[in-house]
Amino acid sequence: MGVLIPFFLLFFFFLLLLTHFFFQFWRTKKLSHLISFYRNRNRLLEWFTELVAESPTNTIVVHRLGSRRTIVTANPSNVEYILKTNFFNFPKGKPFTHVLGDFLGNGIFNVDGDRWFSQRKVASHEFSARSLRKFLMYTLAEEVYGRLVPALEGVSYGGSVLDLQEILARFSFNVICKFAMGSGNACSLDPCVPVSSLWRAFDVAAAISARRGAAPLFVIWKVKRLLGVGSERRLKESILEVHTHVMKLIHEKKKKTMKNNEDFLSRLICAGYEDDVVRDMVISFVMAGKDTTSAALTWFFWILSHYPDVEEKILKEAEANEPLNYESLKRLNYLKACLCESMRLFPPVAWDSKHASCDDMLPDGTVVKAGDRVTYFPYGMGRLEALWGLDRFEFRPERWFTGGKWSEVSPYKFPIFQAGPRVCLGKEMAFVQMKYLVVSILKRFKIRLVSTNKPTFVPLLTAHMAGGLKIFISNREKRK
């Protein structure tokens, strides 16, 4: 009995410490926020949108047990401060790069400081007007008319159901692979043919990496990675496949003379970068172009199916600016307004995070502590009455015009392509690709939805439509 008394005393003392621990966390709302986070885990976007809309500053602070203090803002003044005014205090940060480090390594989207600056300087040469013209004339035209249109015609004749999201994703993957690596035919556009193993590896790696960042407790994925089990085992296998493929291309290109350096990979090799740096930069490029435009276009075509009058206006504008080339695409402002309006409601990247290097204060008075995760929230911003008015939930392309002329909107109100020093280098390329694709499809085909149910918006590294976009597609009669 005498031996048991010290044991019971220690156990009682442990219970007191445990009770005190949970009480302290409850007082700081960390435990309660963790419970709320778990309850809303399947509707995080809607939950955060509700919270920022209710906040007088459109900014909230989230505490989660086992996670960093997180500031989520939909305030344009804050967004400008984070992305531009005090840019150097809000890098991606080690927590972000740690989550994506296994997959993206030291590529441009996962580094800060000098590494980021040097890679951005090299990459900026890929997006000159001359490069975009070549991209349109050779890569896009060849992929659209040589592969996409024939594939869609085959489906239209058969009358079968097509998952437009998957076809657009395959197409975008082929385009970015050809642009970044000079490697075409990466994925068949025949819906009856399974996707390539490389496409699948990129997809799995991106999805699991995104779930790391959204995990209620980061320690869970870290333990799984340590043990090499579950999703972390699949992530490791997918990354190995991607790395192996890109390294093989690097070694093959090094054996050639490469007098005509027509792709990004060849130019990086000729610039003298080490193989692992080239690999990481190319993977980042592929990830940037693989799903963003296809995600934007998937939701665009879903919305467009509800507005035949808008579709007619797009076709008339395109007919008035034929033939399609770099200059005429720039004049398609109504189509650009439709694309922007669609991305306002369904942004390809729903939110993006930085990590504060030092203590700070946002313009709305929100206190930022060193190490805080600071997230700006395009999805929520597109649904704020204060920014877009009472009709914020409506698809209305006319809101992008003033007096009948195109009206530029502040990138801090509409940060779909980021803004400031990190503004997306491929913004113009994305609009060229989306406009060209929309006109090429609408001129030849009519699209009808299989289901009238509203699809679910799923945010990962890039958002997608749960279950895909199932459509019937038929040939359009020639317009007079």
- Which among 283, 253, 277 is positioned nearest to 176, based on CA atoms? 283
Among 470, 436, 472, which Cα is nearest to 453's?
470
**Is 424 annotated to bind ligand?**
yes
Provide the β-strand partners of residue 445.
Answer: 475
How many C-alpha atoms does 204 have within 13 Å on its Cβ side? 20
Q: Six-digit token pair at 222?
A: 């870290």
Backbone dihedral angles phi then psi of residue 330, each to the nearest 5 degrees: -65, -25
Helix ranges restricted to H, 215-325:
218-227, 230-255, 264-270, 275-290, 292-304, 308-319
Give the list of residues 6+ apart from residue 179 with CB closer than 8 angstroms, or none. 126, 135, 139, 263, 264, 285, 289
d(CA 214, CA 207): 11
Q: Which residues contact 355 (CB under 8 A, 6 or more apart)?
A: 68, 90, 91, 92, 93, 94, 95, 96, 371, 372, 373, 374
Whole-number Å distance between alpha carbons of 294 and 96: 25
Nearest-angstrom CA–CA distance, 381 and 414: 8
Residues annotated as binding site for heme?
424
Residues annotated as binding site?
424
